[in-house]
Structure 1
Amino acid sequence: MNWLTVWANTLIDELSSLRKNNRGTSAVEFAFLAPLFLLMLLGMSAYGIYFGAAHSIQQLAADAARTAIAGLNSGDRQNLVSDFISHNAGAYAFVDPGKIIVIAEDSMVDPNQFVVAIKYDARNLPIWNLLSDLPMPSMTIARKSTIRMGGL
């Protein structure tokens, strides 16, 4: 046997033993899947925070409208809403009270209804740090709540 044949046989034996060897396959699979998994996890967290903030704004509008029902006239109701927002907005998850704009007024459609509309600037939420190619929601969260005042 010449040295080339010995070397070729040795190489074939090594390659066949590598094919049967499963050590390290988990590390390779992890290296392929970990970045995708982390991207999905961070994306779900960022979108979850955004949806949590949107829900908090809706809940804040509903609670402010329920508070406004105690007012005797439109001015009283507006003061009650302003007071409620200033004292309680910080208690809602993911909401910065300084970024809230509130419009509280009688409904244009029905004089027996009072409307609380809230706009929230959501630019500081972590969702905007994700990939720019992803579909993104609006940077302003706008929610409103209407409540019927007394009577029928």
Structure 2
Amino acid sequence: MPGGSRQPLRQNWLNETGSSAVEFALIAPVFLLLVFGAIGYGIYFGAAHSVQQLAADAARAAVAGLSGAERTALATAFLADNGGSYVLIDPDLLTIEAAPSPSDPDQFLVRVSYDASALPIWNLHPPLPLPDRTIRFASTIRNGGV
């Protein structure tokens, strides 16, 4: 019976018991890359937001100063006292530059930098484009707070 031998072969082609495993094997790497990428970038953006907030808060603290030197001391003291209380920030990796603005003598400029090398986003290096390892933000206030 020549036709009878083709029947089981056709049934094997229609058998779909392993298709879910094959689909999972094809989709899982892409899915995991997206999930871990979202987590990594979320952590990075959270740290960036904290650095931005630190720069703004240090500038606000400097408003109380009467001179450029006093404003610099106030901004630096604020960063030293409060840098560790911001989310995802290691205070030892923060640097601050606080000085009167070179372009406008009526303004005071606070620049905060953070070395983000310790964040887990750098473990995603091959497949994703990565941001700069140093997060920098600046904030300007008007002298006297007006």
Match of 2:49 in 1: 55
Shift of 1:89: 0.9
Match of 2:134 in 1: 140
- Determine if the alignment matches structure 1 residue 150 to structure 2 residue 133: no
Q: TM-score, normalised by structure 1?
A: 0.86
Shift of 1:24: 3.0
Question: Letter of the aligned partner of 1:150 in structure 2?
Answer: G
Specify the structure having the higher radius of gyration (Cα). Answer: 1
Q: What is the alpha-carbon distance in structure 2 between the residues aligned to residue 115 and residue 37 of structure 1?
A: 43
Where do 5+ consecutive residues of structure 1 fail to align?
none
Change (3 A) 1:151 1:119: closer
Which among 40, 45, 56 is matched to residue 46 of structure 1? 40
Where do 5+ consecutive residues of structure 2 fail to align?
none
Match of 1:72 in 2: 66
Question: Letter of the aligned partner of 1:132 in structure 2?
Answer: P
Question: Letter of the aligned partner of 1:61 in structure 2?
Answer: A
Shift of 1:33: 0.6
Check whether the contact 2:110–2:140 (CA below 8 A) recurs between aligned residues.
yes
Q: What is the alpha-carbon distance in structure 2 between the residues aligned to residue 107 and residue 141 of structure 1?
A: 21
Q: Secondary structure at the match of 2:113?
A: strand
Q: What is the alpha-carbon distance in structure 1 between the residues aligned to residue 95 and residue 61 of structure 2?
A: 17
Aligned sequence identity (%): 51
Q: What is the alpha-carbon distance in structure 1 between the residues aligned to residue 82 and residue 19 of structure 2?
A: 54
Q: What's the C-alpha RMSD, in Å, of the aligned pairs? A: 1.8
Q: Secondary structure at the match of 1:98?
A: helix
- Determine if the alignment matches structure 1 residue 98 to structure 2 residue 97: no
- Determine if the alignment matches structure 1 residue 112 to structure 2 residue 95: no
Q: What is the alpha-carbon distance in structure 1 between the residues aligned to residue 56 and residue 4 of structure 2?
A: 79
Q: What is the alpha-carbon distance in structure 2 between the residues aligned to residue 92 and residue 43 of structure 1?
A: 23
Q: Secondary structure at the match of 1:114?
A: strand
Q: What is the alpha-carbon distance in structure 2 between the residues aligned to residue 9 and residue 68 of structure 1?
A: 90
TM-superposition CA deviations, 1:84-111 (whole Å, max 9, x none): 1111111212111001110011111111
State the aligned residue count. Answer: 146
Change (3 A) 1:132 1:22: closer
Question: Letter of the aligned partner of 1:82 in structure 2?
Answer: T
- Determine if the alignment matches structure 1 residue 30 to structure 2 residue 24: yes
Question: Letter of the aligned partner of 1:58 in structure 2?
Answer: Q
Q: What is the alpha-carbon distance in structure 1 between the residues aligned to residue 98 and residue 125 of structure 2?
A: 37
Q: TM-score, normalised by structure 2?
A: 0.89
Match of 2:10 in 1: 16
Shift of 1:57: 0.6
